[in-house]
Amino acid sequence: MTRPVRASGILLHITSLPSAFGIGDMGPAAHAFARLLAGAGQTVWQFLPLAPTSTFIGNSPYSSPSAFAGNTLLISPERLAEEGFVSWADVDAGAEQFREAAHGSGGSHGSGGPVRFEAVEAHRRVLLRAAWERNRHQLAMDTAYLRFCRGNAHWLDDYARFTVLKDRFGGAAWTTWEEPFARRHPDALALLDVQEAAALDHVRFCQYLFFRQWYDLRAACTDLGVRLVGDVPIYVTHDSADVWANPGYFRLDAEFAPTHVAGVPPDYFSATGQRWGNPVYDWDALRRDGFAWWVRRVAHNLRMADIVRLDHFRGFAGYWEIPAAEETAINGRWVDAPGMELFGTLARRFTALPLIAEDLGVITAEVRELKATFALPGMKVLQFGFGGDPADNPDVPFRHDVRSVVYTGTHDNAPTRAWFEAAPAHERARVEEYVGHAIAPHEAPGVLLRLAMGSVAELAVAPVQDVLGLGAEARMNTPSVAAGNWAWRMTPDQMDPGLYAELGRLTRLFGR
């Protein structure tokens, strides 16, 4: 019997890296962080979805107009200039605002300070337009660009159309567009392809730049022995290229409005449950098509990362379906989903299924069976491990299993220092009893990091905030709070390798 491979890594979204241009990107700091990971003995870098975001929907990477496209805000201006796509004057135009506003020092990896999404969007829009104008006449002879367009045509062409039409109709939801475009009349789309050829190619070109930089970063991580862990939300946004291009895969009415939406039922944390609002899938339609859309989606993400985390995994076994007219999640119902068929199809399509099942919360026997059938590791979160009855708590350290991924916390949790400060007294006491000594709040991140490293779970992951011992000021996301999320960034001095020495020591100590 072979021993499981023990590994560890850090959770850090790309936007949270320092840079001189208002947001973390795929430039020098990303490559430096990959080297930092390798130097600290870490073999995993986990990040959040890389899909496009929008200030109109809270900048969440989990709410996107595309499940396939890349977020062009993450394109590195420096690398564009280094490769000759733009001039350094193009890069600097308007960039002084980010340096002036940054809270961190300059340094070789730029500045920190929270992401200023609106300013970043404006800067990237101008910069990418400059890149397009400089390169557009050579694209017909650029074999790499043409190969990218052919290989991604199954999503790229409709994403380009969706983006151009969104602009034409002033950002309005696709269901309100002129009927020939909302209903995708072939003649209307053919005319669009001719009339807006340049605008469509501009969108394709920006995606080409994103994926060019991403695969460069992925190759650098592979050379360093660092595996990338991506993230795939189970649902997609209604106002997206995915639903517009594939309405038959979703529960929609004759006017393309959702008949039912996704969410979770009332529980201890919410008397009315959570009404997410995403359209639910028409699983019968997906089944008739051999789950082709899901196969393409998983294949796409496995090209971008070595491992993929599936958010809300329990929805593949059964999901909470809410009539769209309901304002809360109270009057929903559980509906079975064909997870066994879907993952059976995926298992036949791929030689391996390097997936992580996000199985937090109340999990049923059907979910456990689905996970076990396809040998998918689940998640354990130590911040959840010290409440309730230890006999029924799957996150308490002594109940971990090898085939799992243990986290100190996730992007939805407060940093461990802040969690410990705000935790009920009995939970703090239980942590102290478990480790055998009193704990000051500033010591809590190190305590949970040590517990994660010592867990039997095959993979241990900590948000970088916990490695650095940061507090509430460094929180990435607060669920159910609409504003102020996703903006935290590291400062350049937090990239100092000396700050990760203890992480490297624990990695060696616990055989990771």
Q: Which positions are catalytic? A: 311, 358, 412
Q: Do the Cβ atoms of 99 and 109 come closer than 8 Å?
A: no
Residue 450 class from Cβ within 10 Å (0-12 exposed, 13-18 middle, 19+ buried)?
Answer: middle
Whole-number Å distance between alpha carbons of 92 and 87:
9
Helices 197-224, 153-168: axis angle to 10 degrees equals 130
Number of DSSP helices (H) and strands (E) in the chain, helices first:
20, 12
Q: Do the Cβ atoms of 500 and 23 come closer than 8 Å?
A: no
C-alpha distances in Å from residue 248, one per residue of 162, 256, 318, 376: 17, 10, 20, 29
Complete edge-to-edge strand list for the sheet that includes strand 333-336: 274-279, 260-264, 318-323, 333-336
Q: Using CA atoms in the order 325, 330, 332, 338, what is the torsion angle rounded to 10 degrees?
A: 130
Phi, psi of 38 (to 5 degrees): -60, -40
What stretches of 152-185 show up as alpha helix (H) in DSSP? 153-168, 179-182
Of the candidates 406, 425, 512, which has an alpha carbon nearest to the alpha carbon of residue 466? 406
The residue type of 270 is S
Distance of CA 455 to the CA centre of its chain: 25
